[in-house]
Structure 1
């Protein structure tokens, strides 16, 4: 009888696929928005480990994991799920997450999108990828296809979970029957984070490619920085190799044009424009085609 009551309550608290999709979209905005903030302030992990091995990594994944784990601990939901009033519960019993499930959920929420983003970026840069990286990319394709199937089955109410990860962890998303218990300061802190979410979404929109193209025509071309002696860049020459441009590629941030191989090789060592030193990434490069 108690089990029947639990099933009936779960059926009444099932969120729509649109709310789940909106929560996932908000979760996916955290990492790129934080990356823009940290890049602007120049905050990165950069230290020598041992020998010639040096760690150069951004702080965004670490901060994203901490944020997600905090929400999973306090509200049994991710940042985006909490924003839309959803909660992760055990599929069979309806109980909240265990400590292990909280840790695993936070890790998967952070690690999988990060790995997929890095692998796709390496592939887009035409870098030499290892065989295991190619296998990982194929596995991500399989996972995305499996997730689409799970979403369809959830939509027709055939599956209790919308994602293969939720099914593997024996979890599902539901509306909480009672509000989560938390102290006053925790409530204020989490509410402030939700307000910051709108700010992060604004940053992500501002730095999108479409918006950058719209405002790019009003920006003044920055002057080259002086080193020991100010060099005059000749027309048609790459500022990196000082030879005739091969596969001209413009930097959308500074406006300077480089050889494709030169600027990509430079970005592997330092994420900045070689001339102006403005922070840039591979997404800021625009291929120039002659007419």
Structure 2
């Protein structure tokens, strides 16, 4: 509970309006968690691709589910997201009279969940789909013919401007909040119909009493006990995460900075993988003589030779492009791979 009382100073007593610096800090807190989880899953996937590769391939879904559960717990118990509660803040609805320990109203709760957990997930998936489509367009020489293809090309061209407009709106919102012209510093809070303010001494006392009452309550039905047990487990995980973050926020932000470089990430993804085993010798001598020109996927003579940088194996371009796009790994070694790891091989004869 120490982080909740950190802001009970004279400033908080005089006004419930949160500082813009604390608001920006809590916004960046959750963005420091995902790079750390990303690095941990990457190490697991590199150590054992067959067993842990599925976690790497479904990282976005795993993180979205964990984030949804975490944010639902804190919104229900403290009327705040995890990062907002960490900085001693709470979400206040339009009326401003609902106690923090009772959670948000149903509509504000659902809007907050959608904007906190689901909207970032959908944006990440959309950006990945657009990035893959741009890669496909780079290798394609066909002009869009149908109306759907033309509209899709128009959306690709307009998406960067949409992102720029959103970032500009967010920046203007922050400026207006600094000058006291708006109640929220973020468009997401404005869309959720809530504002942020400091937790009061009464809020902290009610939150502590609620935890004690939930622990001492014994006259419960079986269903209520199961629900309380699940809530206690999620709450324990949340409190553990909160405690660990209070000790390691700097370390998490350092990891975010360290692994933010795409160049460094690519180099580490290539150099951290073990040396792949050599291909098995074929029993048939005739097949062995042509083995150097056979694609390991289609078992035919390779066309448009393409090497996969993560393993060193050479395939037909069409075969390895289709496989890596669908599975995100090497078909021979299982190493995590992406389309940018495909390398065209130019023969000195051709």
- Give me the whole-angstrom Cα distance separating, in 2, the residues matched to 1:68 and 1:250: 39
Residue 276 in structure 1 maps to residue 333 in structure 2: yes
Aligned counterparts, 1:124-273, within 5 A: 124-125=131-132, 126=134, 127=136, 131=151, 134=155, 137=159, 139-178=162-201, 179=204, 180-181=207-208, 182-183=210-211, 188-195=236-243, 197=245, 198=248, 208=260, 209=262, 211-212=264-265, 219=272, 221-224=274-277, 242-245=302-305, 250-251=309-310, 254=311, 264-273=321-330
Q: Which has the higher strand share?
A: 1
Structure 1 residue runs without a partner (length 5+) = 1-7, 47-54
1:118 to 116, 125, 130: 125
Cα distance in 2 between the residues matched to 1:139 and 1:94: 37
The 3 A distance-change label for structure 1 pair 14 and 203 is same
Matches within 5 A, 1:280-291: 280-281=337-338, 285=341
Change in CA separation of 1:188 and 1:265 when aligned onto 2, cut-off 3 Å: same
1-structure distance, mates of 2:309, 2:125:
22
CA shift at 1:36, angstroms? Answer: 5.7
Residue aligned with 1:59, SS: helix
Following superposition, the deviation at residue 162 of structure 1 comes to: 0.8
Q: Could you tell me how far 1:23 is from its partner in structure 2?
A: 1.6
1:22 aligns with 2:25: yes
Aligned mates of 1:168, 1:68 — CA distance in 2: 17
Greater shift after overlay, 114-123 or 190-199?
190-199
Does the CA-based 8 Å contact 1:43-1:59 persist in structure 2?
A: no
How far apart in 2 are the matches of 1:145 and 1:261? 41
Which sits farther off after the overlay, 145-154 or 58-67?
58-67
CA-based RMSD: 4.6
Q: 1:258 to 1:24 in 2, by over 3 A?
A: farther
- Per chain length, whose mean CA-contact separation is higher, i.e. which structure has more relative contact order (CA < 8 Å, sep 6+)? 2
TM superposition shift of 1:277:
0.5
Whole-Å separation in 2 of the counterparts to 1:156 and 1:288: 55
Separation in 2, partners of 1:218, 1:38: 17
CA distance in 2, matches of 1:116, 1:88: 24
Distance verdict in 2 for CA 1:240–1:164, change over 3 Å: same
SS at match of 2:309: strand
User: CA separation in 2, counterparts of 1:151 and 1:195?
Assistant: 29
| Distance across 2 between alignment mates of 1:89 and 1:60 | 27
How far apart, in 2, do the equivalents of 1:192 and 1:201 lie? 18
Contact 2:18-2:198 at 8 Å conserved across structures:
yes
1:192 CA displacement: 0.5
For residues 237-265 of structure 1, give each alpha carbon's deviation from its aligned partner in whole angstroms, at most 9, with x where no partner exists: 9876834446x7734xx566778876553
Residue 83 (structure 2) aligns with: 80
Q: Between 105-114 and 188-197, report the one with greater CA deviation.
A: 188-197
Distance in 2 of aligned mates of 1:63 and 1:111: 11
Q: Is 2:108–2:194's contact at 8 Å kept on the other side of the alignment?
A: no
Give the structure-1-normalised TM-score: 0.68
Write the deviation string for residues 149-206 of structure 1: whole angstroms up to 9, x where unpaired. Answer: 1111112222110112212332111111132344267565432022455587687667
Which structure has the highest helix share of the two?
2
Kept in 1, the 8 Å contact 2:17–2:198? The answer is yes
Give the Cα separation in 2 of the matches to 1:277 and 1:258.
15
Calculate the TM-score normalised by the size of structure 2: 0.59
Q: How much has 1:118 moved relative to structure 2?
A: 1.5
Alignment deviations for residues 11-61 of structure 1 (CA, whole Å, 9 cap, x no partner): 7232222322222222234455556656733456x9xxxxxxxx9983332
